[in-house]
Amino acid sequence: MKKKIRIGSLQFFCLIFLFELGSAVLFGMAKEARQAAWITIIFGIVSGCILFSVYLGLHKKYPDLPLTAYSRKIAGKYIGWGIGFAYVIYFSYLAVRVLRDYEELLVISQYHNTSLLTLGLYMIASIIYVMFKGFEVFSRVSQVCFFVFLFVGMPVIILELSAQLLQPANLLPVLENGWMPVLKAFFPSTLTVPFGEMVAFTMLLPYVKDHKTAKKIGYAGIIVSGLYLSFRTAMNIAAIGPDVRIRSTFPILTEIGLVEIGNFIQRLDAIVLVILVILGFVKIFIFFYCALLGISDLFNLNEPKKMIYPLGILIILSAVLVAPNFNTHMDIGFKIVPIYMHLPFQIAIPVLLLLIAIIKTKFKKSRTNQST
Amino acid sequence: MKRKFVFILSFFITACLLAGCSNYRELRDAAFIAGIGIDWLKEKQRYQITFQAFSPSPAGSSSSSGSGSGPPGSALFMAEGRTISEAARQASKKFSRMPDYSHVRIVIIGDDLAKSESLNFIFDVFERDANIRANIPVLIARGTSGKEVLSVIPATEHPVESINGKVKNSAKMQGENQATEVYQIINQLSSKGSEPTIGGISVVASKDPSSPNKKATKLSGMGIIKEGKLVGWLDGTKSKSISFLNNQIIQTNESIRCDSHQYTSVRITDSRSKIKVRMNSGRPEIVIHVNALGVLDEMLCNRKIMDYDVLHEYEQKTSNNILSHIRDGINQAKSQKSDIFGFGDILHRQHPEQWKKNENRWNDVFSKSKVSIHVNFNLHGTSMRIEPYPYK
Amino acid sequence: MPSFFKTGTKKIQSKKESSPSQPSTIKPNITNLTYNIDDNIDLIKDCLGSPPDLNVRKIIIDAATDFSVAMIRMDGMSDKKEVDFSVIEPLSKMNFEQLREQLESPNSAEVLGRLIAVNKLEKMNDVDKVVNSILQGNTGILFNHTSQVFIASTRLIDKRGLSEPSSQTVIRGPKDSFTEDLRTNTSLVRARITNPKLRIETLNVGEITHTNVELMYLNGIADDSILQELRNRIKKIKIDAILESSYIEEFIQDSKNSIFPTLISTERPDVVVANLLEGRFAIFVYGTPYVLIGPATFIQFFQSPEDYYQNYYMGSFIRILRFVSFFIALYIPGLYVAIMTHHHALIPTTLLITLAGQREGVPFPIVVEALIMELVFEVLREAGVRMPRAVGQTVSIVGALILGQAAVQAGFVSASTVIVVSLTAIANFTMPFFNVAIAARILRFLLLLLGSYIGMYGIMLGTFVILAHLCSLRSFGLPYFDPITPFKLLAQKDVFIRLPLPKQMTRPEPASPEEKNRVQGGGRNET
């Protein structure tokens, strides 16, 4: 098909880790569950693994094909093409949404006077550069980014601990309103973002060395990133309390803003912003790339790189046009997108495809058995 | 190659046209605000905001190679507005530079504002604005206005640094005045189970001849806030109760009677409290255990300190002292019907179902609470000497 | 394309031969050696354009039979003494009858070789080859009545002695460095590896200069596929002249447009030896003390030989320090401008007051100021390199003290900018290989502009671009970021820290897979 790209296990892990953290860290997860948000995330890990096993099942049947290609094999040429095209739009839309999220983050936290368009332009320009270098280069970059993340992120946690910011009492009482708020926060928002978004990897799994690595590292990535998110959420609650968390747009920045040690280490938000930009970069890149892969696969393009510019410009512009203001953007993101976009694309379609594929192979097998 | 070049060129042109530099600000175009005073002008129904800024002294001119020596200058200016942001914008008419709020170190609230107007809303801007921090200490100008407090200029320090230093120093050395930061106040204002306390600062006449305007600032007491309004003050040793119960004691000092008219001083170096709250037939039952540790640091009478009885007596007396601070503090809070210690939150954590029933009338319920305090104090040293020098 | 050059050289030759101004008795269109010695001498002279440094000595041995011998050599390129004692003397004393008989026999070179005491004697009858050999400093021996020319190797060129390395100095470690002479250079390496596995291959590059380029590697340890690729790439070089190893470097590196070097160039023999032992190759070029080593990874540019000569705690510490200084050299000006113009909140309050005080009254915006200072520094540095040694000191004093101090005092620039710029400059000098420092020097400006334009966000995105570029680079197929990404845990022993040598018993990536262990069988048997 194309020239063979193979990414190793550590790079695959880094991709999943940074991808999962993406917008989840930014907006704070499961705010409605209050103190129990971290428990919700543990649920998310479990459900994320289950969903991923569906994607893996499809990958096992078609180890060399992305989702858009095997959807045609499973659901027939025309319906499958339609499904593939819908996924392209879905991935592009998610890239747009994540870009908008990060543009808003930057505008609200640091760049009050800069236009969304400028910020988006810079982000997409650097993404386009990396994309021209290819996915392999990107996965290497993301691995270095992972190290940077560890290198910058861990000291921030240590600084927070030494600033005596954390009040574990904020995490109590556990489950004061029973399991209902936890479940409500879990379904659909925590389930779909970030764990369900692993559906993007259905496009990328063919690049992984082999099925066994994809399985092992995939689960490990989801579990480790989930546990990290859970831990970080618990820290967040301990630092700022569930009430502020619900009120604040970017809980992580609120939390970091409180760190002050000896009048010298203060206002680490700009440093945390660096980490967040890394996460945003990885996430936007992956969605963008999935959309690109989908297009080149559906239209059988010989030169998929030609589509990078138009798609990139489309993403920059739609990121500005997708919502008139931040509140609408958030509202769409938390109320409409999970139910009408995430649920069908992340759960319904893959599960259906897998079922059809299994039935088809069973059917075929029994037929071949009969004939022999 | 050609297309690449065209792309790069078009990128730079668009980037420049989009004016990304609009966020660019030179240091010399900004005035860094150090302290904000918020007062309420009753007759105008407006907020009066006082800004105390760092004014950079020009360096680099001929001889001053060691710039930064000496205190940074201060610049005071005021503005009025219906919101704090409006006032801040109004101030631009009086000041040549763009104010930068990222280095605000203190917020002073005028007495009038604290007593008559509600504090509930004024902190919103500190949370909402990304530039200003939420961990700024807040003080109430006791019996005066924020403007007055900020216009007291000490001889050697920047006024804001001076106030900030006092708050930190007092919290460390004595534990009577704690710095309450904006985000804590917001948390407590919005929580049903606790009320904030905000330290007070007053302006006194200065006897220091080098002081420019013969005035000085002094911390005094902790203000009790109830439903957003200042209702009373915890003064003197009573205000230690907050530090003891919140485990904020770093060091403090207790004077205990050892003689008919002489005292012995004990330095408390560590204190841990454990609080249990539960409802018992409609009344909260609060059980407080305090474990404190200290050393004897001054002795103005001749007693055999090696004697176990004496030691024990001192420990007992210190315990009683601590107990009375805490009891007095709680009693005053009960009489003001304001749960400044956050017992409600503790009940919420320990018995959520009992809390649910009393949530909405907690302050009343709290005022009827039954409090039992147990203090255990251990003297673990007598510093460099064992016995005091004998005198005749 | 390639044929163009070949025909070109031939054209030049024929032009010279046909030129009528040459006072020659022979017919001008003779291009091959004849049986007449005078014709042959004239032919060779014509080919070279009868230069003044061409030395022709003709001896008539037997006038009766017109048997004569001629020695042609280039003055200054050949060993005069050796020609006198080993060639002329035996020839003048020999029994010419016997010799004349055997001159036309196929083993004439061997017969002559018994008489002439030079270490190499060759026979050839192609005039181009003869001229080339003479140009290389060999002596051509011509006899009458034969078209064969004997070439005695008498090459001797004045060369400077070994000196201390000038650009890659160490405190502890060998103090010799390569010179311009190729043979000296290879001998420096050979002396350190007395092992038959050390192989040298000669290649000739440069259509006009015919520069000797030698390829050195350890047979078996170096990966054959990489070597084959290297030979192919060198053979593909089409250039008229090779003056320095950088000419080769630009032709054979994987990415022609990269700002980062993908081949190491060193003047230290110990560096070459260490790299050969890790399975890399070295390219020696005549006329330059800088030897190319490849395939190179990014990390290698941070490894100084001294890391291994000092205690490994020190070695690791210094290496981490070097990474930090690379970071400083690359990022600090950009971060400084970004923080000073976009992120005031990050600066601690007291520092902010001091900085703001310094900025008062400075006329330029901080970006312009930083750019000017960076450029001034680059100018000073360039001046320092080009200045004659004697005044080099003056430049640094004028530059550093007078300019810096005066500029701050006059209020043209703020002291903090001067500090940042000089910090950057000093950090840049810690790189053991200056060509990676060059990358930092240039990219710094990019980051500075991005930082001023859009703050840390811009710097971060710039970092992505630089990182992606670095990750996409390869050196002879080896990823440039080799042990970091793709990540290899075992190879981390010599990346950011250096483990003690006994723990470094495996070779890094480019070595051929069969020879991964440095020592076989626990270091006893050598094969």
Residue C389 has pLDDT above 80, yes or no: no
Cross-chain residue pair A130–C464, CB shorter than 8 Å: yes
- Above pLDDT 90, what percent of chain B? 13
| Chain B residues within an 8 Å CB radius of A115 | 18-20, 22
B-C contacts at Cβ under 8 angstroms: 92
Q: Do A241 and B187 touch (CB under 8 A)?
A: yes
**CA pseudo-torsion sign B309, B311, B312, B318:** positive
Q: Which two tokens stand for residue B264?
A: 């012995």
Angle between helices A135-162 and A211-247 (to 10 degrees): 40
Q: List pLDDT tens digits, range B170-199.
A: 888 888 888 888 988 888 888 888 889 999
pLDDT at C275: 92
* Whether pLDDT at A29 is above 90: no
pLDDT at B74: 79
pLDDT (0 to 100) of residue B58: 46
Q: B61 falls in which pLDDT band (50, 70, 90)?
A: very low
Count of CB pairs separated by less than 8 Å, A with B: 65
- At C392-418, the pLDDT tens digits run 677 777 777 777 788 888 888 888 998
Of B21, B60, B131, Cβ closest to residue C408: B60
What is residue B124's predicted lDDT score, i.e. its pLDDT? 86
> Lowest-confidence range among A32-46, B82-96, C311-325?
B82-96
Subunits with 3+ Cβ pairs within 8 Å of C are: A, B
pLDDT averaged over every residue in chain A: 88
Looking at every residue in chain C, the average pLDDT score rounds to 83
Distance from CA of C415 to the nearest CA of B (A): 8
Q: Which of C297, C331, C460, C473 to probe the A interface (max A CBs under 10 A)?
A: C460
For residues B147 and B136, give the distance between their C-alpha atoms in angstroms, rounded to a whole number. Answer: 18
pLDDT at residue number B102: 86
Q: Which chain A residues touch B19 with a CB distance below 8 Å?
A: 115, 118
d(CA A353, CA A345): 11
Q: Contact, C373 vs C445, CB < 8 A?
A: no
Q: Which chains touch B (3 or more CB pairs under 8 A)?
A: A, C
Q: What is the pLDDT of residues C332-358, one digit of tens each?
A: 999 999 999 888 888 888 888 888 888
Checking if the pLDDT of C3 tops 60, the result is: no
Cα C130 to Cα C31, C124, C134, distances in angstroms: 12, 7, 6
Distance of CA C160 to the CA centre of its chain: 17
The fraction of chain B above a pLDDT of 70, given in percent, is 93
C458 CB neighbours in chain A (<8 A) are 122
Q: For residue A372, what pLDDT band results from cuts at 50, 70 and 90?
A: low
Task: Chain B: give the shortest CA distance to residue A281, in Å.
Answer: 19
pLDDT at C105: 74
Is A244–B183 a contact, with Cβ atoms under 8 angstroms apart?
Answer: yes
* pLDDT above 60 for C5: no
For β-strands B283-299 and B370-379, DSSP reports them as: parallel
Question: Which chains contact A through at least 3 pairs of Cβ atoms less than 8 Å apart?
Answer: B, C
CA distances from B285 to B320, B329, B334, C272, C438 (A): 21, 17, 13, 81, 73
Structure confidence at residue A266 (pLDDT): 76
pLDDT category of residue B212 using cuts at 50, 70 and 90: low
B58 shares contact with chain C (CB less than 8 Å): yes
Residues of C in contact with B56 (CB under 8 A): 353, 356-357, 359-360
Does residue B16 carry a pLDDT above 70?
no
Residue A65 has pLDDT above 80, yes or no: yes
List, in sequence order, the alpha helices (H) in B153-253.
Answer: 159-173, 182-190, 240-245
Q: Which residues of B touch C417 (CB under 8 A)?
A: none
Q: d(Cα A129, Cα A144) in Å, to the nearest integer?
A: 17
pLDDT above 50 (res A260): yes
Lowest mean pLDDT among A352-356, A359-363, B167-171, C63-67: C63-67
Q: Can you tell me the distance from the alpha carbon of C72 to that of C51, in angstroms, rounded to the nearest whole number?
A: 12
Mean pLDDT along residues A160-187? 84
What ipTM was estimated for this complex? Answer: 0.91
Domains of chain A (ranges plus CATH)?
Answer: 9-354 (1.20.1740.10)
Of the candidates B58, B103, B105, the beta carbon closest to that of C361 is on B58
Tokens 């502890």 sit at which residue? C172
A251, closest residue in chain B (CA to CA) = B127
Q: Please give the Cα distance from C496 to C493 (Å, whole number).
A: 8
Q: What is the pTM of this model?
A: 0.87
By C-alpha distance, the chain B residue nearest A119 is B20
Query: What is the residue extent of each domain of chain B?
Result: 29-56+70-234, 236-392
What distance in Å separates the CA atoms of residue B364 and residue A204, rounded to the nearest whole number? 62
Residue B8 has pLDDT above 80, yes or no: no
CB contact under 8 A, B26 and C365: yes
Q: What fold is seen in the domain B236-392?
A: GMP Synthetase; Chain A, domain 3 (3.30.300)
d(CA C143, CA C36) in angstroms, rounded, equals 8
Tell me what pLDDT residue C216 has.
93
* Residue of B4, B13, B22, B357 to mutate when probing chain A, most A C-beta within 10 A: B22
Over residues B310-369, the pLDDT tens digits come to 888 889 999 999 999 999 999 998 888 888 888 998 998 888 888 888 888 888 888 888
Peptide bond preceding A66 in cis form (omega within 30 of 0): no
- Residue B17 is predicted with a pLDDT of 65
- Asked whether A141 and C460 are in contact (CB, 8 A), the reply is no
Kindly indicate the confidence band of residue A98, based on its pLDDT and cuts at 50, 70 and 90. Answer: very high
* pLDDT score recorded for residue B227: 85
Name which residue leads in pLDDT, C262 or A34: C262
At residue B121, the pLDDT reads 82
Q: What is the pLDDT of residues C149-167, one digit of tens each?
A: 888 888 888 788 888 888 8
Task: Please tell me the distance in Å from C367's CA to the nearest CA on chain A.
Answer: 18
Would an 8 Å CB–CB cutoff place A147 in contact with chain C? yes
